[in-house]
Amino acid sequence: MKIFDCVVIGGGVVGAAIFNKIVRLGKSCVLLDKASDVATGASKANSGIVHAGYDPKPGTLKAKLNVRGAKLFPQICKRLGVKLNCCGALVVGDDKEKILELYNRGLQNKVKVEIWDKKKLHEKVPKLNANLNVALWAEDSKTVSPYLFTIGLVEEGMINGGKVLLEADISAISKDGDVFKIETQRGMIYSKSVVNSAGAGYNQIARLLGSETKKIQLRRGEYFVFDKNTLDVPCTIFPLPTDLGKGVLLTPTVDGNFLVGPTSAPSDDVTAVTKTGLDEIRQKAHLLMPDIDFRNTIRQFSGIRTICGDDFVIEKSRKVPGVVNLAGICSPGLSSAPAIAEMVINLLGYSTKEKDNLKKIQPYVMFKNMSKRQQKEILKTDPSFGQIVCKCEKITKGDILAVLKRPLKIKSVDAIKRRTNAGMGRCQGGFCFTKVVKAIAQERKIEYKNVLKENRGSFVAVGDIREEE
């Protein structure tokens, strides 16, 4: 019976960062997620911004971890081969006092901030609403693919000895002396400590653990995704923040698309897009940039934030020794994730020294981004890199098959989409959907109709036509 040092429950960006860090210390660790891939909850559906850290109230965990996390981001991304878009961010408004307030917060949080006048602002963003005349510029704000970052952390953990169990719903947790016994759909796991980073599922896990439940509020954030080259948005553009959050923003993704959103409305755990939400975004986005043409949108999505009071909750459980609780990791959760991991290993009582000879992860490089020479080489041995699957994003069959051979054994069309962008372009899978399904069926040796779109139950077809009798 193997007893792990730690079990991390929840494969979002926070769980992934903690798992990665624990493995890098040389501890044995298992990451559990009920979904068929990591980063399928809040971590796949957010603004994808690494905030500079001027916004959170000084002295809070949010402020401390955001600033520290943002500092760690570039080196981790470099290590993982994950792209960062160092585009900077502007908070724009017509109220100099409020901008000044944010500026002072920025200074208190030790973040590089500048105040820009109307001229400088409109030079940077010519299409901006003319009545916006003052701005806060934070050059260290960046954008990242939140799921590629999560996947990178998880896979780097795996090649260095960490274990990941997907579709591992937990049915019971008990404790025998100092050892937790976790019954999952993928088998029994024994562990000395447990990290509850289950996000929206925090209370469900807390109940199984017998640890503290929290008052958690779920808020839905809806977004529009815009096609490439359809907005003149050179950096992230925020309105002045309100009590409800950072407001409807415009941001360029690492892939050259744009996100416009989010809303913030109380919700249940259903990631639905609503007419009210979309209308609200249209109206608010036009206040920032009047000529945004919403016909250029190619997708809308929604994500769920979990909110637990004003600050992050990151603590040792008082009720159950050996458990670390993480609740209410909403924005700036992505930016803070690397720093949260540091804090959690501290709470677990681990030394901060990383083990020697850590293995380097092979970054995701699609054929189109390889050098001419690499392209030539790879085509000699593997002609599947010469077969187009996704025309919008120029992804080849070789790219898809390579992803299926990665350490994390994914099997869904959406998992392929997150890793390669196949299906993310303007035709939204019209050309590639069935080609991706066939590649998954071929590589995983499963039937076409049993390939999943995302999670269990989302099979792509209900059967064969004219099934043989």
Partner 1 sequence: MKTQVVVIGGGPAGMCAALSASKTGAKVVLVERDEVLGGILNQCIHNGFGLHYFHEELTGPEFAHRFRIMVEADKNIKVLTNTLVTKIEDKKVQIMGKNGFEEIEAQAVVLAMGCRERTAGNISLCGTRPMGIVTAGVAQKMVNIDGKMIGKDIVILGSGDIGLIMARRLTLEGAKVHAVFEINSTSSGLRRNIMQCLEDFDIPLFFNTTIFEVVGKDRVEGVYYGQVDKNFQPIESTRKFLKCDTVVLSVGLIPEMYIAPDTITCKTTGGAIVNEFYQTDKPWLFCCGNILHVHDLVDNVALEAEQAGKFASLYALGKLPTQSKSLPVVAGEGVSYVLPYSVFEGQGKVEFKLRLKTKVVRKNLVAKCGANILGKKFVLAGVPGEMLKFEIEKNGASDKIVVEIE
State how far the Cα of 301 lies from the Cα of 392, in Å rounded to an integer. 20
Q: Would you give the binding string for partner 1 spanning residues 374-393, x where CB under 8 A is met?
A: -xx--x---x-xxxx--xx-
Token look-up 């901008």 returns 99
275 binds partner 1 (CB under 8 A): yes
Of 297, 331, 335, 420, the one binding partner 1 by CB under 8 A: 297
Catalytic residue among 51, 68, 105, 419: 51
Q: Which residues of 266-293 are buried (b: 16+ CB within 10 A; e: fewer)?
A: ebeeebebeeebbebbeebbeebbeebe
449 binds partner 1 (CB under 8 A): yes
CB distance 245 to 333 below 8 Å: no
Q: Which stretch binds partner 1 (CB under 8 A): 9-17, 107-115, 158-166, 456-464?
A: 456-464
284 binds partner 1 (CB under 8 A): no
Of 60, 179, 213, 294, the one binding partner 1 by CB under 8 A: 294
Residue type, 219: R
State how far the Cα of 195 lies from the Cα of 303, in Å rounded to an integer. 23
Query: Mapping DSSP to helix (H, G, I), strand (E, B) and coil, where does residue 427 land?
Result: coil
Element (H, E) at 6: strand 3-9
Task: Give catalytic status of residue 122 as yes or no.
Answer: no
Of 126, 177, 187, 463, the one binding partner 1 by CB under 8 A: 463
Of 101, 190, 427, 442, the one binding partner 1 by CB under 8 A: 427
Q: How many residues bind partner 1 (CB under 8 A)?
A: 56
Other C-beta atoms lying within 10 Å of the C-beta of residue 193? 25
Of 28, 60, 213, 300, the one binding partner 1 by CB under 8 A: 300
Q: Which stretch binds partner 1 (CB under 8 A): 76-84, 164-172, 298-306, 349-357?
A: 298-306
349 binds partner 1 (CB under 8 A): no
Q: Which two tokens stand for residue 255?
A: 């892939």
Q: Would you give the binding string for partner 1 spanning residues 202-241, x where CB under 8 A is met?
A: ----------------------xx----------------
State how far the Cα of 46 lies from the Cα of 112, in Å rounded to an integer. 24
445 binds partner 1 (CB under 8 A): no
Q: Which stretch binds partner 1 (CB under 8 A): 113-121, 135-143, 207-215, 366-374?
A: 366-374
Query: Mapping DSSP to helix (H, G, I), strand (E, B) and coil, where does residue 284 land?
Result: helix
Query: Mapping DSSP to helix (H, G, I), strand (E, B) and coil, where does residue 162 land?
Result: coil
> How many whole angstroms from its chain centre is CA 159?
21
290 binds partner 1 (CB under 8 A): no
CB distance 21 to 45 below 8 Å: no
- Nearest residue (CB) to partner 1, 65 versus 260: 260
- Nearest residue (CB) to partner 1, 111 versus 401: 401
Of 96, 207, 368, 369, the one binding partner 1 by CB under 8 A: 368
Q: What is the DSSP letter of 22?
A: H
Of 204, 213, 428, 442, the one binding partner 1 by CB under 8 A: 428
- Nearest residue (CB) to partner 1, 350 versus 431: 431
**Cα dist from 24 to 77, 162, 206, 358, whole Å:** 16, 9, 26, 7
Helix ranges (H only) for 309-412 are: 333-347, 372-381, 397-404
Residues that are catalytic: 51
- Contact residues for partner 1 (CB under 8 A)? 224-225, 270-275, 278, 294-295, 297-301, 367-368, 372, 375-376, 379, 383, 385-388, 391-392, 394, 426-431, 433-434, 438, 448-449, 452-466
